[in-house]
Amino acid sequence: MTPPYRLSLPLVATFILTGTAFAQAVPGPGVKPTTIPVPHRATYKIDLAHVAPNAGVTGASGEMVYEVKGSSCAGFTTTQRLVVQIGRSEQDDRKLDFQATSFEPGNGATYRFSSRTLVDDQPTDSLKGFAEKTPDGLSIELEEPEAKQINVSDKVIFPGQHLQSIVDAAKAGQKFFSTHTYEGSGTGTAPDTASAVIGASRVGQDDDMTKGLRFWPVSVAYFDHDKAKTTDDKTKLPGEQTPSYQTSFKLYENGVSKDLILDYGDYSLSGKLEKLEALPPAACNH
């Protein structure tokens, strides 16, 4: 959800280079309920945007479908599927099929996630678990690839609240927003430190879901959380560390994203919005 393609990033990098009824806990004081993104289904065309001479990548093409259903009172269920064909200079082309689903209540207190990766139609990785905010920080219970319990002492927000926080910061005129966020990505054992740079707002003119709404160009750099904790000067974090990966996109105030760039340094992928469909919000059961 922050952004929709976030979960796929580490898996895409590894693939290219190596081939390989939820409880709604009470939120903490001062936590703003999540009201975005609006329920919708977005289809993106994936292409290779940039590649360095020695990156070993000759092309990329595919499609990603991102769907969010629910409401702030019923919670948000997000599904994502990315299918992309990767051309490689010294090896055969490979097909990556990444599938993910997650649920986050509007109060952002808990988070359930599941994902799997197929390479050339063969399963290679899976991740499944549940995370919950605690008075001391964050509790993570992994079910796949193996059962594991992890406790994180820092305050962490989940994807829905991360997206909400970026939009709130943009509306307030802030140019920078940094936080710890947990999205059940990578190995699922730790959160990331995410630093967002927010550009000047403009007004959308494209389609029924975004026309007349403000949007901001946003770039988010994700840093390894454990390394970030050992940085001596926290005020210089973005300059002291190289991010694990970066994304940029146009973020609308209703949570819709357009013009995606997934930047890995030696190469980057683009995601062009091809189809955007509004979905009805979920009813509240009181």
Given a cut of 80, whether residue 65 has pLDDT beyond it is yes
What pLDDT score was predicted for residue 12? 42
| Rounded-to-10 torsion of CA 12, 14, 16, 20 | -110
Given a cut of 90, whether residue 5 has pLDDT beyond it is no
What pLDDT score was predicted for residue 29? 36
Given a cut of 70, whether residue 156 has pLDDT beyond it is yes
Residues in the chain, total = 286
H/E segment holding residue 166: helix 159-171
Q: Which residue has the tokens 């599927």?
A: 81
> Rounded mean pLDDT of 31-51?
87
What pLDDT score was predicted for residue 14? 35
> Rounded mean pLDDT of 132-151?
94
pLDDT tens-place string over residues 222-231? 887 665 554 4
What pLDDT score was predicted for residue 278? 94
Q: Is 123 strand, coil or helix?
A: strand
Q: ∠ CA 135-140-141 to the nearest 5 degrees?
A: 130
What pLDDT score was predicted for residue 19? 36
Given a cut of 60, whether residue 237 has pLDDT beyond it is no
What pLDDT score was predicted for residue 21? 27
pLDDT tens-place string over residues 80-108? 999 999 888 878 888 989 999 999 998 99
Burial of 173 (0-12, 13-18, 19+ CB in 10 A): exposed
What pLDDT score was predicted for residue 119? 92
> Rounded mean pLDDT of 106-126?
93
